Structure 1
Amino acid sequence: MTDTVFPYAWNAPRAAVGAYQADDSERGIRYLTPDGKRKFLSAMELAETDEKPDRSKAARRRLASLPHYVRSFYARQLEKMDSKGKKAADNWLLNTFERHVLSRIDQVNDHYLPNATLPAVLMPLRSEFFRLLWAGKKELKRLAHSLADILQSEFIREVDFQYERTADPHFSTLSGYGRIGFLASHLNTAVPGWSAYCSEELEGEDALKCVARLQSPQWWLNRLRRMHARWREHLMIVTGYVQAKSAPYSSEPCVQEWQAQKKANREYLNAMELEEQDTGERLSLADKVNGSIANPAIRRAELMVRMRGFEDLAKLEGLAGDFYTLTAPSAYHSTQKSGRRNDKFNGSSPRDTQRYLCKVWSKTRAAWKRRGIRVFGFRVVEPHHDATPHWHLLLFMRPEHAEQARAIFRKYALKEDGGEAGAEENRFKVVPIEEEHGSATGYIAKYISKNIDGYALDDEKDEETGEPLKDMARRVSAWASRWAIRQFQQIGGAPVTVYRELRRLRDRELVLHPEIAEAHTAADEGNWAGYVTAQGGPLVARDCLRVRLSYDVTENGNIYGDDVSRISGIYSPFKGDTSLILTRTSQYKIVPKRKQDDASGFDFDFSGGTAAPRSSVNNCTREPRTVEKNTLQESTVITDGASCAIDYGSLTRKERKVVAARLSAEFKAEQQRKRERRKRQPVLRQPGERAEKIREFASSIGWDIGETEVGLLLAGQRIALDGVFYVARSDGALYRTREKLPQSTATTVNTWVTRLRSAYQNQGQK
């Protein structure tokens, strides 16, 4: 090949200025030092490090970063190991803590943390979700409002865009919901209506109801509170704090919060009354609640009556009874009965285990139905010592179906990990009911009492913990409340709600249809067996019931636009509307109790508001000249350290002036003391390098930021400037969290709901 000849010298290729000729023999990088010299680092030198990563230091940092309620036990263990030497401590950190504990913690965190890749619009909230374990009430509320604001603005923006483009309200609504549903699906929580949307079954009206929830701060606050509480409890389960050797069934914080909530509920009930809207008659709200099934004693008694009624029906029909115990595989148990860690544990929460048990039962029930096996009875759910739920079922069926029913149930109970050691003995147990060994109700009575209030179990011991059953009842109740697990469920038979509505008619003289009269008589006598027989028997199908509930439906009855159904009475479907009997004829509303002053004997409300303060400073803060005659009928002042009631109506004008002048002087003196204290407190400049960077960055964008705003940014809060929210990062720079909406999209979701519904109606009329 000959060399190329260029006709002109300027056309010939020339070498680039300062070009570096790469040498294939050299693999690395060249760089320029600050003093102007060039240096070269080979690939081998780049791969070399001075020392290997210190895994023990990383494990120590992970331990220090855990919440205190998880860290405390393992921090004490590390102190013991440190006293034996660094080698022993490192060995414990790597082979025990990192290998078994941290792996479980990371597994649980994956249940609740958002997806690794969040959409850009949710990135400002990523750090807040990661701090959810440490969040308090204010942080949860702030996160709920921020999340609701973002989803609301995204919905409005998407609907505006699609409506201007297509003028189709139905498509615009679904597109807007799809946008915010997609965003919420990254938060590792259930999104209302999302499955129907993905299967193209969601309608526009239903989408609006889902949007109303997703843009509601209160809805998100409830969801975040539940997530926060269960996340913490799940961590305490997997790290060994919930077990027979420490705190069986539920952790100590869980029990304390449950007791505090119970106390708050009682205080609320005692402070409120029920007021009849037509007559104004008032009833004690606490008495009404104590007389309902919310009372543990009444709830337990009703369950026992229903269980005894089923047993009587089974004897009358000659049916066989079986007592089943269903337990989850060992992979669902965090801790062994001995207190040792279960290395097979898969990280499931009690709700995950409950879903598994429900799935086994649904398959079993479906298989029974295909083979014509009909059963009725009760199911009781209770926890193992490590909070893993298991089931007890007392079921009645025809004797010829008993063996086949057991075989089917055993098949599905052992389908998952049925070959592991101990599965045959522990996963599924059947005890036939034999009268010589006790009644069927006696088999389940202990489990009902244990899971409610421990009634009549003073001398009984818990098989798993060895503690008195009565003491364990509150821990079981706290467990059920935390994980929202239904403890008792009736299987088959007639519905109990109709039974309760019939009992409400006991004091009314009515002429009932024969279809209803028999069931009413049995319910009034507390005869569950007679009531079930009057409804068609224990194996009656739901569409063959002789007495049913009547409902009043209120369209758009709640803040989310749902239709709200309320029980209004009972009727017989065989007789039609002529058999309707209203069981709830009065409408009540919850109102605060009337204030009563025992010292004066007054029993009427004063005009000072719902909670008139009994304090001289708060109740009389006016100047003497503003105190008018007869404006206050009674007040309270402090005289020599004791409170005494003064009837202003009985005082002379001169005496009123003296009292008012004294109270005003005391108030002015208190205000002066507060001003002096504020003067003595200097205004401190926010310290730290990060605060200085925030000031510099704010100044660079023309923001004359104050010290209060710097403090809020350092605390992780958002600050608005010209309608744009900013948040401070670790480097001190300010980042936008949400752009200011254009004027055309400054509408609320409620306005859009009205517009879209009007559009639906117009399309329907056309």
Structure 2
Amino acid sequence: MEQLTPIDYAYVNGDKWEYIGTGEPMPIFTYNKNTNEYLAGIYKERQLSDPAEMQAYVSQHVRSKALEAHIKNAVEQAKKEWKEECDGWVKSPETIEARLQKEPYFIRAWYERRLSWLKRSRAQKHSDAFLTKTVKQALLRLTETRKHHTVRPYKLLSAYYQNLYPHLPGMDKPRIKTLANEIAARVAEMLDAEIERLGGMDNVSEKDVIDVYRMLAAEVFSLRVNVPGWQALKPKKDRCGRDKLPPVDPAFSEIARMVSADWWERQLWRLRCDWREDLFRASNQVHRKAHPYISQDGMKEFTEQRQRNSEFFRNHELEDEDGKRASLQAMVLGSVSNPALRRNELMVRMQGVEFVAQERGDVGVFYTITCPSRYHATNHKGRMNDKWDHTRPPEAQRYLSKLWANIGSKLGRKGLRVYGFRVAEPHHDSTPHWHLLLFMRPEERKEITRIIHTYATKMDKEELVPDARARFNVKRMDPRKGSATAYIAKYISKNIDGYALDGEIDDETGKPLKDTAKFATAWASRYRIRQYQPIGQPPVTVWRELRKLNNQLVSILMQNNQYDPKKPLLADKAMDNILAAADVGCWASFVDLMGGVLIPRENYVVGIRYEDKDEPNAYGEIVERIYGIYSRIVGEASTVCTRSKKWKIVPKKSGSTEAEEQGTDTTDKGSLVFLGGFAAPRSSVNNSPLAEILNKNGRGINRTVPTAQCVFTVGKESVSEGGDNSQPTKKRKKKQLSKKVLRVITEGIASVNTDLTQEQAEKLAADGSIEIGSERYFISLNGRCLDNGRRKQPLSEPKPPVCVPGSSPVTPEITRLTDQLDELLHLTGITTPPEALARQLLAGKPLILRDEHYYLENGVIRVIRTAAAYKKRQQVVAAELQKKEAKREQKAASILARVEKMRINNT
């Protein structure tokens, strides 16, 4: 007869576990556990090999048959009572409402408001139907979801926190911080006990360190926290089947993480936010008719976090080793953290890939891949989906990633290659789906489409009869109807900042795309989902470092009066051509000069050079940082440093000026165009000499060229020039250059081109190009072509690229202010239309945003922060709240009057 141990029995009682017996203090096990397997594990753990020792241990843990029968009956009774308690509340509306009251406030509040309105305004049957259908289904879904929000059994930490973990989604930051300190202390205590058991640190071998790490990792994993470094340090076998000892150095850093309170605070807060969002999805509060993409609570936390980030940027600066400072806020606005710059860069890259495809003769196909219905919490109408298996959006994203990996493997076996872009965006219920714009050979298009269709519809294929477009859709790009870049531009903008989408309606939510863009950004941030990913292209990090390097070199040469646009900036010709392509913002030329598409990453011409940091991080690791770029053809000798300075973030000095606080006035009055083309060079924390040379007043990096330093030249070419690989371009809006710039260009034209009349010279200066007979004249600035309409040079020619895809024209004052305000509003989380604010500034009226006053002075937006401004803002907010409350009371009185009138008519 099978022998049982004291800790074999446990059962669920409400939201916690109960157990029977007086076993050792690790009580949480299962009531169906095989005792022989359990004892075998104990023998191995305690290294009991002698039969006498085994028998002695078993005799201490075996109960009598009478006690066994009593425990078994008690367990069966407890299971029966627990099942009745779980199932009994679904029998009547009253019990369902009582069960609803046990839910945390952030879950039940929405249902209570709805239920209260039904009881006041409708008959009893309506509220009962709402309880027995909607509320009941939501509560059942919440119960199933919480099964994934518990600790994993069999470990000491799970025994400590089994009753506390179900309340994790309702905790705030201070409570999470307290819990993190407590768990870190317990893990440190377990570490000390294990080291003491091994005889102290002097007696610990490398194998012991790995064993200690794995023991602590199992404890951490029981709390649903991903164990750091597990893939490298988990048990592995060699070819002979023996245990393979991994490197011991990473184990020390990972153990340091597991005993760090700061690390635990980040992990627990992430877990809390994920579980909280899961409960909102399960209770049907995330869909097109409630709050699309992300819950209202999650959107509020995202907005507040952005406001805190913005405040931090305003109150801190960057300081180098020499004590010189730069504006942190201006640095952030000049990086890809700025949504406008991020969108611009994506559009430039997308247009460049399209040019590459045209040169290669490839065709573009647009695919849409959606997850099966089991991944969707609600249907398209906002009703709860019965097929949902309680999977989370990150799990759906992993499904799509694995699906694409399988598709790529199949294409590789068939010898088929594709390149392009992948866009991940949410459905209204926050389930992700993918849009893929892929380019391929025309003769391979049908086979590639067939393979993608087969894999995309493989799971749950029976639900796709008769139409598979719910899971997979395909559309071939037709150049006669528009470019591929124009087609995907909407998907890029709608998931970043909603630029140029005024009046557009979202198909998923039925709401304006301008409003839902911030929801998509919050969704990606909450679930840590990468929205945009290139396929088969060079890394964009090289592009950004090259643009930064060009800006540095040109600035240094200009300061020393040594800049000559005809001379190369780098000694290696191939690297210099790639540098020029990145500088003018021509992604197509950059890709072509780097080696093309669909080649291994190590075969690209230019790569990133890394170096170890001087100091270890908080966990004792020596991490790498970007040092510069180098040519893989030339080798180490071609390395060029792009980050020569080291910066640290420090609090802003009390004597900072208003311009320093704002950080938006970063250009000189005589500026003409931006160096680096369409988008300024990126900087995470810009470690370049540029901050020292051009940031003398602490007003941010000056990325423009003064007019006095501009060298204008006029070029001439035949209109029927060969090698054209571009489509017929649409008529574009002419550049509106200032009178001063027009005069400078016109004088330069007259001095070098006597065959042009004054009228023709002025037209050339205004348009950038002019056709006279069979010749085309165009203007170059410092060797860069200013003509947007000039046809692109063939990619096969070894000339430095001169096209500037996607470059934007100089706009009037209202558009310039709108762009500045748009960046400011994105950082502060304010949703007011920037066009109206720009008009208010031009009218001479100040803006009051949050607790700050903004006004226009000499074309520059300034900010003041005073107690009077703060007090005035508080008064305005109070008045608005009173107005809303009065309007709400008036509406409620009107509803009550109508209800009373209906009651009188019915009687």
Q: TM-score, normalised by structure 1?
A: 0.68
Instruction: Give the equivalent residue in structure 1 for 2:135.
Output: 97
Query: What residue identity is the alignment partner of 2:509?
Result: T
Residues 207-218 of structure 1 correspond to what in structure 2 (within 5 A)? 207-218=251-262
Pick the aligned partner of 2:622 from 563, 569, 590.
Answer: 563
Q: Indicate whether 1:429 and 2:473 are aligned.
A: yes
Give the conservation status (yes or no) of the 8 Å contact 2:157–2:223: no
User: What residue is the counterpart of 1:574 in the other structure?
Assistant: 633
> Corresponding residue for 2:715?
none
Which consecutive segments of 4 or more residues in structure 1 shift more than 6 A? 80-91
Map of 1:412 onto structure 2: 455
Question: Match of 2:103?
Answer: 66
1:25 aligned residue: none
Q: 1:119 to 1:59 in 2, by over 3 A?
A: farther
1:125 Cα deviation after fit: 2.6
- 1:157 equivalent in structure 2: 193
In 1, Cα distance between the equivalents of 2:139 and 2:415? 50
In structure 2, the residue matched to 1:541 is 600
Relative distance call for 1:208 and 1:517 in structure 2 (3 A) is same
Amino acid corresponding to residue 358 of structure 1 in structure 2: S
**Which residue of structure 2 aligns with residue 553 of structure 1?**
612
Question: Structure 1 58/580 Cα, relative in aligned 2: closer, same or farther at 3 Å?
Answer: same
Quote the residue 2:586 is aligned against.
527
Q: Does 1:309 align with 2:386?
A: no
Q: Which residues of 2 match residues 596-745 of structure 1 at below 5 A?
A: 596=655
Once the 2 structures are TM-superposed, how far is the Cα of residue 212 of structure 1 from its aligned partner? Answer: 1.1
* Bigger CA radius of gyration: 1
Other structure's SS at 2:637 match: helix
Instruction: Kindly state the Cα deviation for residue 520 of structure 1 after the two structures are TM-superposed.
Output: 0.7
Question: How far does the alpha carbon of each residue in 1:664-717 deviate from its partner, in whole angstroms, 9 at most, with x for none?
Answer: xxxxxxxxxxxxxxxxxxxxxxxxxxxxxxxxxxxxxxxxxxxxxxxxxxxxxx
Query: CA–CA distance in 2 between the matches of 1:476 and 1:121?
Result: 37
Counterparts in 2 of 1:133 and 1:121: CA distance versus 1, 3 Å: closer
Indicate the SS of the match to 1:441. Answer: helix
Deviations 1:282-334 (A, max 9, x none): 11111111111111111111100000000001001101111010100111111
The corresponding residue for 2:149 is: 112
1:571-601 Cα offsets, whole Å, 9 max, x none, are: 11211111111111122111111112889xx
Separation in structure 1 between the aligned mates of residue 378 and residue 155 of structure 2, nearest angstrom: 38
CA distance in 2, matches of 1:85, 1:597: 65
Residue among 368, 387, 398 paired with 2:411 = 368
Q: 2 CA distance for matches of 1:148 and 1:168?
A: 22
456, 460, 469: which one pairs with 2:500?
A: 456
Structure 2, gaps ≥5 residues long? 1-69, 71-76, 237-243, 558-568, 659-907
Residue number in structure 2 paired with 1:144 = 180
Secondary structure at 2:189 match in 1: helix
Is residue 401 of structure 1 aligned with residue 444 of structure 2?
yes
Identity in percent: 39
The 3-state SS of whatever aligns with 1:552 is strand
Residue 167 of structure 1 and its aligned partner are, at CA, apart by: 3.2
Aligned to 2:17: none
The equivalent of 1:337 in structure 2 is: 380
**Paired residue for 2:169, among 123, 130, 133?**
133
The structural deviation recorded for 1:345 is 0.8
- Distance 1:556-1:79 versus aligned 2 partners, 3 A rule: same
From 172, 182, 201, the equivalent of 2:208 is 172
Between the aligned partners of 1:555 and 1:490, the Cα distance in structure 2 is 33
**Which residue of the other structure, out of 520, 528, 535, is the alignment partner of 1:484?**
528
Deviation of 1:166 after TM superposition, in Å, equals 10
Aligned to 2:576: 517
* CA RMSD across the alignment: 2.8
Specify the code of the residue in structure 2 equivalent to 1:416: M
CA contact (8 A) 1:273 1:282 kept: yes
- Counterpart amino acid of 2:346? L
Q: Which residue of 2 aligns with 1:645?
A: none
How far apart are the structure 1 equivalents of 2:97 and 2:381? 28
Aligned to 1:740: none
Q: Kindly tell me: are residues 182 and 593 of structure 1, through their superposed partners in 2, closer, same or farther at Cα, counting changes over 3 Å?
A: same
The 3 A distance-change label for structure 1 pair 401 and 125 is same
Q: Cα–Cα, structure 1 residues 582 and 334, in superposed 2: closer, same or farther, change >3 Å?
A: same
SS in 2 for 1:419: helix
Superposed displacement of residue 189, structure 1: 2.6
Q: What is the CA deviation profile of residues 340-392 of structure 1, one whole-angstrom value per residue up to 9, with x for unaligned ones?
A: 22111111111111111111111011111122212111111111111111111
* CA drift at 1:475: 0.8
Deviations 1:166-194 (A, max 9, x none): 93421221221122112112112321233
Q: Compared with structure 1, are the counterparts of its residues 370 and 381 closer, same or farther at alpha carbon in structure 2 (3 Å cutoff)?
A: same
Deviations 1:222-263 (A, max 9, x none): 111111111111111121111111111111111111111111
Kept after mapping to 2: 8 A contact 1:159/1:172: no
Q: Structure 1 residue 201: deviation in Å?
A: 5.7
User: Which of these residues, 308, 319, 336, is aligned with residue 264 of structure 1?
Assistant: 308
Confirm or deny that 1:232 pairs with 2:243: no
1:461 shift after superposition: 1.0
CA distance in 2: counterparts of 1:164 and 1:385, whole angstroms = 56
1:350 aligns with 2:393: yes
Q: Contact 1:551/1:566 (CA < 8 Å) preserved in 2?
A: yes
Asked whether the 8 Å contact 2:363–2:477 carries over to 1, the reply is yes
| Offset of residue 555 of structure 1 | 7.4
TM-score (structure 2 length as normaliser)? 0.58
Question: Residues 555 and 159 of structure 1: is their aligned pair in 2 closer, same or farther, counting only changes over 3 Å?
Answer: farther
Displacement after TM superposition at 1:96 (Å):
4.9
Asked if the contact 1:493–1:532 (Cα under 8 Å) also holds between the matched residues in 2, the reply is yes
Counterparts of 1:453 and 1:582, CA distance in 2:
34
Structure 1 distance, partners of 2:544, 2:251, is 36
Correspondence for 2:249: 205
Q: Confirm or deny that 1:469 pairs with 2:513.
A: yes
Distance 1:450 1:96 in 2: 32
Aligned AA for 2:301?
Answer: E
CA distance in 2, matches of 1:134, 1:330: 29
* Unaligned stretches of 5+ residues in structure 1: 1-27, 29-42, 600-766
Of the three residues 218, 234, 237, the one matched with 1:182 is 218
Equivalenced residues, count: 551
- The residue that corresponds to 2:858 in the other structure is none
Deviates more, 1:158-167 or 1:449-458: 158-167
**How far apart, CA to CA, are the structure 1 residues paired with 2:201 and 2:378?**
59
Change (3 A) 1:347 1:121: closer
**How many angstroms apart in 2 are the aligned matches of 1:127 and 1:520?**
59
Matched position secondary structure for 2:624: strand
CA contact (8 A) 1:326 1:427 kept: yes
Aligned to 2:229, which of 193, 207, 213? 193
User: Shift of residue 81 of structure 1?
Assistant: 7.4
Letter in 1 for 2:229: G
Pair 1:586 & 2:645 matched: yes
1:557 Cα deviation (Å)? 2.3
- The alignment partner of 1:244 has SS state of coil
2:529 counterpart SS class: coil
| Aligned equivalents of 1:79, 1:114: Cα separation in 2 | 36
Is contact 2:157–2:222 with CA below 8 Å preserved after alignment? no
CA distance 1:572–1:69, change in 2 (3 Å): same
Code of the aligned partner of 2:620: G
Q: CA 1:79/1:454 → structure 2, altered by over 3 Å: closer, same or farther?
A: closer
